[in-house]
Amino acid sequence: MTKGVDVDLENVWIRFGDFVAVREANVNIKGGEFFSFLGPSGCGKTTILRSVSGFLEPSDGKVRIGGKDMAGIGPNKRPTALIFQNLALFPLMKVWENITFSMEVKGASKAERRKRADELLDMIALPDQGDKLPSELSGGQKQRVAIARALCAEPDVLLLDEPLSALDLKLRQHMRTELREIQQRVGITFIYITHDQGEALTMSDNVAVMRAGIIDQIGTGHSVYNDPATPFVASFVGENNVFRGKIKSIDGDMALVSTNRTGELLARIATSAQGKMNVGDSAMMFIRPEACNIAEDISPAANRFTARVKHEEFEGQIYNVFLEGAEGKEIKMSLVNVGKQRQSAEDNNLTLEYMPDQAVVLPAGELASE
């Protein structure tokens, strides 16, 4: 199997008339990397994928694959293979014939094709399934056949446009693991499009988070989750409690924020904002629900605040407690279920605490929900 190659987007703009679908995208995807573009519908991620595959030419900038400028090179001439949401398997062809269709087009013999199909069926953990029709397979099996068909063309880069979106939750979660294992086995570059944070965080070496045609942040799953670069990333990737306010003081990479919910609270300035924030600046402070705990010591502190319990939801592995802070702002706390039944009395006040380095301060900006 061909090893993956680098894919580079250099100052790529994509316009449709006056509408800018992608604005100044600069991305370096390393050969053999599993790279995801994550963002809400309409943010431009599929448009970027189409520009890499050759179905769309950038208005400005360059797409390079393996260091070669792809300008003017059509989809059938690029070292890429694309898997669509609907999979598009041929219903009247057997599984092995579907997988090796690209070889048939090139004139390979039936024996060569069958041998290659069996190799790929072993790779995707579907041995002895080659003589079935697609209609005899489950959704997850069809997904794997589509991947094998794409790999049969021996691309340097495999492009996947939300391929798991039609599957149910448990199958999606299973296929995330399968896809990652297949990618590591074959070693080629995977570029994956999704609006599902779980998919992106679970599978990817690196993630680009997109907002309205702009790439807000590129980094590992850990970095975009724990150290978001913008309020949009902080509010789109996972859940977050948002506290608006102003910077009261700064000490190193820590800031004290006068918030609109609970008074003055201490948090770490996000890496992207360090050295760029000043006392008096409007700020947003983010504390994830799982970073909050019930405080044993209820004396005032810069990492404690009080809120009134509204209701509680039990999800099995966690308890979600919904509270109301100052000005009626909702606050969520997630507690791990350790096997003890618990119930927070409604309308009671609770003092919550958090580790200041697990909360993040950023300049005020656009949230994902706005």
Q: Which helix (H) or strand (E) holds 297?
A: none
Residue 191 lies inside a defined structural domain of this protein: yes
Q: Which two tokens stand for residue 78?
A: 């690029």
Residue 345 lies inside a defined structural domain of this protein: yes
Distances (CA, A) of 178 to 80, 97, 111, 208: 21, 22, 28, 22
Q: Are residues 167 and 194 in the same domain?
A: yes
Kindly give, in sequence order, each residue whose CB lies less than 8 Å from that of residue 139, ignoring residues fewer than 6 positions away.
Answer: 166, 167, 168, 171
Residue 274: other Cβ atoms inside 10 A: 14
Q: Are residues 183 and 100 in the same domain?
A: yes
pLDDT in the model for residue 1: 47
Alpha-carbon gap, residue 77 to 223, rounded angstroms: 36
Alpha-carbon gap, residue 220 to 3, rounded angstroms: 22
**Taking the CA of residue 195 as centre, how many other CA atoms within 13 Å lie in the half-sphere pointing to its CB?**
11
pLDDT in the model for residue 49: 95
Residue 368 lies inside a defined structural domain of this protein: no
Q: Are residues 239 and 169 in the same domain?
A: no
pLDDT in the model for residue 297: 83
Residue 347 lies inside a defined structural domain of this protein: yes
Average pLDDT, the chain: 90
Domain count across the chain: 2
Residue 24 lies inside a defined structural domain of this protein: yes
Beta bridge partners of residue 320, listed in sequence order: 313, 334
Residue 2 lies inside a defined structural domain of this protein: no
Residue 369 lies inside a defined structural domain of this protein: no
Q: Are residues 126 and 42 in the same domain?
A: yes
pLDDT in the model for residue 175: 79
Kindly give, in sequence order, each residue whose CB lies less than 8 Å from that of residue 231, ignoring residues fewer than 6 positions away.
Answer: 242, 284, 286, 362, 363, 364, 365, 366, 367
Q: Are residues 306 and 191 in the same domain?
A: no
Q: Are residues 285 and 218 in the same domain?
A: no
Q: From first to last of its 370 residues, what are the pLDDT tens digits of the chain?
A: 456 799 999 999 999 999 999 999 999 999 999 999 999 999 999 999 999 999 999 999 999 999 999 999 999 899 998 887 677 788 899 999 999 988 888 888 899 999 999 988 888 788 888 999 999 988 888 888 888 888 888 899 999 988 887 777 777 787 788 888 888 888 899 999 999 998 999 999 999 999 999 999 999 999 999 999 999 999 999 999 999 999 999 999 999 999 876 789 999 999 999 999 999 999 999 999 999 999 988 888 899 998 999 988 888 888 899 998 876 788 999 998 877 666 666 778 889 999 999 999 999 999 997 5
Q: Are residues 235 and 194 in the same domain?
A: no
Classify residue 61 as left (phi > 0), alpha (psi -120 to 50) or beta.
left
14: domain CATH number is 3.40.50.300
273: domain CATH number is 2.40.50.140
Q: Are residues 152 and 256 in the same domain?
A: no
Q: Are residues 113 and 151 in the same domain?
A: yes
Residue 1 lies inside a defined structural domain of this protein: no
pTM of the prediction?
0.88
pLDDT in the model for residue 106: 85
Q: Are residues 221 and 274 in the same domain?
A: no
Boundary residue ending a domain (226, 249, 275): 226
Q: Are residues 175 and 241 in the same domain?
A: no
Q: Are residues 269 and 216 in the same domain?
A: no
Boundary residue ending a domain (226, 261, 292): 226
Boundary residue ending a domain (226, 261, 280): 226
Alpha-carbon gap, residue 332 to 327, rounded angstroms: 15
Residue range of the domain that includes 276: 231-363
pLDDT in the model for residue 139: 81
